[in-house]
Each structure stands twice: as structure tokens, then as C-alpha cells.
Amino acid sequence: MKNDFQISARQMSVIEKVLLLQDVDLFSQVSPEQLARIALLAEELHVGRGKVLLRENEISDAMYIIASGKVALESGSECLSVAGEKEAIGTWALLDNEPMLATATVMEDARVLRIERDDFYDLLSDHADITQSMFRALIRRIRTLVDK
């Protein structure tokens, strides 16, 4: 699927990627320096309108963070939501091997950051502090859900 997309001619700098990544829920507890390490893995792609980033019931091996543009999330023929700038899709694909629950289709030409799962796990194996920060974010999210 990645081959359907264009790699940007001018890539975002590490700092710009960090600024984008810090708004992703999963990385909310990760420090800027750790985000810079993740940023080094993140590949910037230009995706044209109508292209599919993730397909329902298929297993994905990456997550995407939208730098610009809009992406529709659909299940069957129903539109669940529209994701915009600084929003992440396929976050859980980074952590498990389960099929996607929705199809993500680009509505407006988009610039996205793609983080592949294998690269990400390689990074985690070297930086336990990133794993700890992500655990903190996940636990915080679970607590919020439990409190609700």
C-alpha cells in the first residue's frame, strides 16, 4: 500500500515531525527527545485524494499521522468520522496484529507521517524509556475510560 504514495520532495525536519507527534494521544507522555527518535523513523508521504491508507478487516503494519489534508474513516458504507491535521489513524496497528475496524480514505490531498511497526519495535527494544512513557499514556487512557 505504501508504494501507492509519493514520498515528499521536501521532507519535514525532525523538529517539525516532533511538533506533529507530540499531539498524538499514544505519545502524549513521551518526552520531546524521545519523540525525536520516533521522528527519525517517521516517513513523510504525499497521498492523493481517493487513495486508501488502511482497509477494513485487513491487518496494517503502520500508523499514520496527518500533517495536512483530510481522511475519512468508513465502516462498510457508513462514514464514522473525518480525521484532520495532527490526528493519527491506525494507532492500534502499531501495538497489535488485529484487522482494522475501518477503511481510511483520503478526502483531500494529504501529507502524512508513516511509522512502521517493525521499525518502531526495534526502537522500543533500545529505549525502554519510550515504552514506559507509552505505558503511562495507555494507563491514563484506561483510567479515563474506567472513570467514565
Applying CB under 8 A, the residues found at the interface with another protein are 13-15, 18-19, 22, 31-33, 36, 40, 122, 125-126
Neighbour count for residue 53 (Cβ, 10 Å): 28
What is the C-alpha to C-alpha distance for residues 98 and 8, in angstroms, rounded to an integer? Answer: 29
Q: How far is the CB of 125 from another protein (least distance, A)?
A: 6
Q: How far is the CB of 37 from another protein (least distance, A)?
A: 10
The set of long-range contacts for 72-77, using a CB threshold of 8 Å and a minimum separation of 24, is 72/104, 72/105, 72/106, 72/107, 73/102, 73/103, 73/104, 74/102, 74/103, 74/105, 75/101, 75/102, 75/103
Closer residue to another protein in complex, CB, 74/85: 85
Closer residue to another protein in complex, CB, 37/114: 37
Closer residue to another protein in complex, CB, 34/60: 34
Q: How far is the CB of 82 from another protein (least distance, A)?
A: 25
Closer residue to another protein in complex, CB, 31/57: 31
CB-based contact 137:28 (threshold 8 Å): yes
Q: How far is the CB of 106 from another protein (least distance, A)?
A: 26
